[in-house]
Each structure stands twice: as structure tokens, then as C-alpha cells.
Structure 1
């Protein structure tokens, strides 16, 4: 068994694009990296904001839960 992986012949691996053409794929575009970073930061902000809202709702409803159990 060889240590080299085998690839399909119709998709060359490791060869740069010829004649100034860009490689296929979403991350190959020139302006794609800042856009990806922006989307990543937006997703993180949404996740943190959602967690903050859940925490606020749980904190606000703490007193209501105590009344049902009969604790003063």
C-alpha cells in the first residue's frame, strides 16, 4: 500500500489555476474572506444575544416559580 492518496483524474489536486483564473469554490473569490468573517461575527452575536435573552427570561420568571411551590 502506498502512502500517497489517490484522487479522481477529472479533478486535479494541488495545481494552481491557469491564466489568472480563480479556483472554483466559495472561499476562492477575492472578496469572500471579509464577507465570511462578517457572517461569522454576525452568527456569534446572534448566539450571544439569544443566550442573553434566555438568561433574562429565566431571571425574570424566578419569583413566579417560587410562588407555585409554596415557599413564602
Structure 2
């Protein structure tokens, strides 16, 4: 019985912390993924010698104009 109580206490104490960490990681991914997409597109354009994206802000405008919000998560 004592082992079962220890397991339940451990689960109850670690569940809120685990939930907070999962939410924080999800939010971080949502915020940083568009910048990852922009970085990759700029690298590919550099290798292909194209001039579609000339900076971060220009890339944001171009991606939004051509593909919408979902373009940042492609």
C-alpha cells in the first residue's frame, strides 16, 4: 500500500510540471518554426542563385503574400 501511495504522489506532483513543459515546448515551436522556414528558404535561394527573398522582413511579406499563414509552417 505504501508503494502505491508513493507512485500516486509522484504522479500528482510531476503531472503539472510535465504539462507546463509540454505547453512551453509547443509554444516555442510555434514561434520559432516560421524563422526556420525563412532560414531554409534563404539558404536554398543562395545555392540556387535566386533573389526572391532579400531579408527577414521581405521574406515574411513574400511568404505571407504567396502562401498565407500556412506557408510559414510548410
TM-score, with length taken from structure 1: 0.40
Higher relative contact order (CA 8 A, sep 6+): 2
Higher helix share: 2
TM-score, with length taken from structure 2: 0.39
Bigger Rg, which one: 1
